[in-house]
Amino acid sequence: MNAKPSLKFLKILGTWRDVADAARTTIRMPEGSKEPSPKWKKRILLAEHSPIRKLLVGWKWIDLPYWVSVHFVRHKYGIEHFVSTQRTDRTGEDRTSKPQDATVEHECFANAAEIMFISRRRLCSQASPETRSAWKLVVDAIAEKEPELAECCVPDCVYRGFCPEFKSCGFVDTPAYAEAVKRYRSVEG
């Protein structure tokens, strides 16, 4: 097939005001009228407090290879998937004759906590390059609308401070890794 996946859209489905008001509820404060600062946004994302689940993002991949779509469908908490069918009775094509790289449309919506979790797995160098590339499309689109969330979308080694994989790619031994960890942990932007 060799089609290149692309994003049809990316939508922000929740607001930071919703997140802030939920955070205020948890500490028995009244709803506020002030928009949260970038520093506050980054801090609550790094803390992974439950109100971040009110920030939702929706997107749709076009021409995503079926086998790559399967990697994303494995994520099941805080995310919903809608994948185009390959059923013979719906497409008129025998699904058993389709190759693994036959493309699908794959639409999702997920909360901020799950987006960060998916990033830990799918931005890792041990993930397939095709899967990493498809996820990077999402993170790059998020960066345009929600930069603080995108800053928290890092591979597991940056998140944990060490490589948890059985076979490390060696990134943790580079100056680029040290810089990535520093950037991730910074709440100053």
Local confidence pLDDT in tens for the 189 residues of the chain: 567 999 998 999 989 999 999 999 999 988 888 889 999 999 999 999 999 999 999 999 999 999 999 999 999 999 999 999 988 899 888 888 888 889 999 999 999 999 999 999 999 999 999 999 999 999 999 999 999 999 999 999 999 999 999 999 999 999 999 999 999 999 875
pLDDT value at position 19?
97
- 156-162 long-range contacts (CB < 8 A, ≥24 apart) are 156/120, 156/121, 156/124, 157/124, 158/184, 159/116, 159/120, 159/184
Residue 105 CB-half CA count within 13 A? 8
How far apart (Å, rounded) are the C-alpha atoms in residues 189 and 177?
18
- 120, 155 in Cβ contact below 8 A? yes
- 110, 56 in Cβ contact below 8 A? yes
Could you tell me the residue ranges of all domains in the chain?
6-156
CATH class of 6-156: alpha beta
Q: Which residues contact 154 (CB under 8 A, 6 or more apart)?
A: 119, 120, 123, 180, 184
How far apart (Å, rounded) are the C-alpha atoms in residues 90 and 95?
10
Query: In this structure, what are the phi and psi dihedrals at residue 146, rounded to the nearest 5 degrees?
Result: -135, 75
pLDDT value at position 160?
97
Kind plus residue range of the DSSP H or E element containing 50: none
pTM of the model: 0.93
pLDDT value at position 34?
85
pLDDT value at position 189?
56
pLDDT value at position 32?
81
- 135, 118 in Cβ contact below 8 A? yes
